[in-house]
Amino acid sequence: MPDTALRADTRWRAQERLVLPPLIRDWLADPGSLTARLRRHGPFRVAPRHGAIERPTLEEQAQLGRIGRRYALIREVTLYVHEQPVVEARSVLPLASLANANRSLGHMGSRSLGSELYRRPLAHRDQVWVRFGLSPSGQGPCWGRQSRFVKRGRPLLVAEHFLPALWELIRD
């Protein structure tokens, strides 16, 4: 586990502007599906914690661009491996991004959002931010990654906060 004597910060910073410890960079810069990578470490499940139609935060609006000013489906989940909470995620799915062929993204339940984003037509991750701060439920501080995905031309945000149990899991 890298030095955590970092000051917790709520601001997301462009990934390329941060020097990250190698282990952290290996996970935060991974271009593939986090779900697929976690599944390689043991039994995996997604536990939805919160779902509501709300306005994104001002920071999320800026990260989404113009579409961010409208209402979005906010989805907060905890990802478990071997029944250990390893990631807390908050996704911001603009309602305008959930129309037509993208509508399944708004009805994931306990299925991983990644299973839709990494299904053809593949979503592409066009920007990544990083921070060392609290998770959506207030755990931490821990490393977090905010990704902007574009699926069928429509943007959405997925923020993943990597909990201490993850680093214990991969060390064993």
Ligand X SMILES: C=C(O[C@@H]1C=C(C(=O)O)C=C[C@H]1O)C(=O)O
Are 127 and 99 a contacting pair, CB within 8 Å?
Answer: no
116 is in an annotated binding site: no
Are 160 and 144 a contacting pair, CB within 8 Å?
Answer: yes
113 lies in the binding site for ligand X (CB under 6 A)? yes
Query: Per CB under 6 A, which of residues 57..76 are in contact with ligand X?
Result: 75
157 lies in the binding site for ligand X (CB under 6 A)? no
117 lies in the binding site for ligand X (CB under 6 A)? yes
First to last CA, the chain: 12
Instruction: Output the smallest distance, CB 35 to ligand X, in A.
Output: 3
Are 28 and 143 a contacting pair, CB within 8 Å?
Answer: yes
Are 97 and 71 a contacting pair, CB within 8 Å?
Answer: no
Contacts of 76 (CB under 8 A, 6+ apart): 48, 49, 50, 51, 88, 89, 90, 91, 136
Among 130, 160, 163, 166, binds ligand X (CB under 6 A): 160
142 lies in the binding site for ligand X (CB under 6 A)? no
75 is in an annotated binding site: yes
160 is in an annotated binding site: yes
Cis peptide before 141 (omega within 30 of 0): yes
Among 102, 112, 135, 146, binds ligand X (CB under 6 A): 112
146 lies in the binding site for ligand X (CB under 6 A)? no
Residue nearest to ligand X (CB): 114
Give SS3 for 55.
coil
97 lies in the binding site for ligand X (CB under 6 A)? no
Chain positions contacting ligand X, by CB under 6 A: 33-35, 46, 75, 77, 79, 87, 89, 91, 108, 112-114, 117, 158, 160
